[in-house]
Structure 1
């Protein structure tokens, strides 16, 4: 190969497995440095046949680096998803903290979406339904929490609209009946405190009124039962 053809070429002089990261390999080239020139995942190494003696043009090196970064972003995304389901925005924030550039992160996330690992619509529906039952939160608070997770407004609204009003009312009544006995003061003050509590939990005004009435009625029934027992 003449001097013109070899200009801008790097030759791999050694390939060593990374001691800290099992599936990554360090590439050494003919640049006189003792430190590895590049570290790549084994999938990238195999795809580009990055073996000892392989010559790499500087233009190809850019492609190798970009694809390795995208692969790393994808792998990090999968690890992050291992704990629980995540939103598009949550993964993007996580990858940014890991030093992944925005373009590589987005390409990795789009791959995760295509493979069914990331689905904001499914996440929103599951989140709203689960938090309503387990944490006794109303639609307004759930809507706020979903938006904080970076889910699109239209997707959030669709998930919130799917909440069954009767189920939400049952949850609000359960929360009201649990809170009511611990509120002190005159009946009017207790009602005001309970209304404030339920509104902060994200329940709509109409459901709040229904829940307060149910809590009062439940207390009266309990008192009647106590009197009969005596």
Structure 2
């Protein structure tokens, strides 16, 4: 409706009233030419920047341009709110704004601004995500690379983040995962070893880390069999 009115209006308009918009925080309704119906809703930042106060005369074309800028600003504010919970990728924000009905042009403008302000950085996100997931969720580089791509990270960026993980730290994480899983693996010794290997590979660990982790699990069995050392 608002876009239709904006498209239909021509010439100079007189702002006859400005009221708070009950549907939006920090938003205001503009009334023009004595109409009892609001002409448009505008964010407070743009209201002040363009001095859209009662008694101001403004050309309809300028209001259309301000309305377009307001659409971009609204997308930016929505994206900021979405970012408040945790870091997000460009793709995640784009999908979120699309679900909210934001036009593609406004979405891209918001993302450009967020990237300029370093609030959205896929390279940084990927590196941090991979390191934290490896440490906290006991996952290896191959699985982490897949998860990054699922979150909209470019394949090359996901690959670089996964390959940059410390090999020694990853092997230690694989060993932690193996020792945690090993007591719960049932079957004959050969079957247990095979099942644990498959588990570690599914977790995305490379073969060298899997081998080291298997050795640690088997060694833990030997220590358990020997029992606690006796004091002489």
In the superposition, the TM-score normalised over structure 2's length comes to 0.89
136-145 vs 216-225, which deviates more? Answer: 216-225
Task: Please state if 1:123 is matched with 2:112.
Answer: no
Q: Matches of 1:148 and 1:185 in 2, distance apart?
A: 35
Detail structure 1 runs of 4+ shifted over 6 Å in the superposition.
Answer: none
Contact 2:10 2:61 (C-alpha < 8 Å) held by counterparts = no
Quote the residue 2:6 is aligned against: none
Task: Please state if 1:23 is matched with 2:16.
Answer: no
Task: Please state if 1:143 is matched with 2:145.
Answer: yes
Match of 1:128, SS? Answer: helix
Q: Matches of 2:94 and 2:12 in 1, distance apart?
A: 35
Contact 2:20 2:27 (C-alpha < 8 Å) held by counterparts = yes
Aligned-pair Cα RMSD in Å: 1.9
Q: Matches of 2:226 and 2:93 in 1, distance apart?
A: 55
Shift of 1:31: 7.6
Quote the residue 1:66 is aligned against: 68
| Count of matched residue positions in the alignment of Structure 1 and Structure 2 | 223
Match of 2:51, SS? Answer: coil
Quote the residue 2:213 is aligned against: 211
Deviations 1:183-214 (A, max 9, x none): 11111111121112111111122322221121
Match of 2:227, SS? Answer: helix
79-88 vs 55-64, which deviates more? Answer: 55-64
Shift of 1:57: 2.7
Q: Matches of 2:165 and 2:68 in 1, distance apart?
A: 43
Match of 1:146, SS? Answer: helix
Q: Matches of 2:166 and 2:179 in 1, distance apart?
A: 20
Q: Matches of 2:87 and 2:134 in 1, distance apart?
A: 17
Match of 2:30, SS? Answer: strand
Q: Which runs of 5+ in 1 are unaligned?
A: 1-5
Shift of 1:61: 2.4
Shift of 1:227: 8.2
Correspondence list, 1:50-199, <5 A: 50-199=52-201
* Aligned partner of 1:225 among 216, 220, 227: 227
Deviations 1:132-165 (A, max 9, x none): 0000000011000111111112211221121011
CA gap of 1:216–1:228, structure 2 versus 1, over 3 A, is farther
Q: Which runs of 5+ in 2 are unaligned?
A: 1-8
In the superposition, the TM-score normalised over structure 1's length comes to 0.90
Q: Matches of 2:229 and 2:190 in 1, distance apart?
A: 24
Q: Matches of 1:22 and 1:129 in 2, distance apart?
A: 38
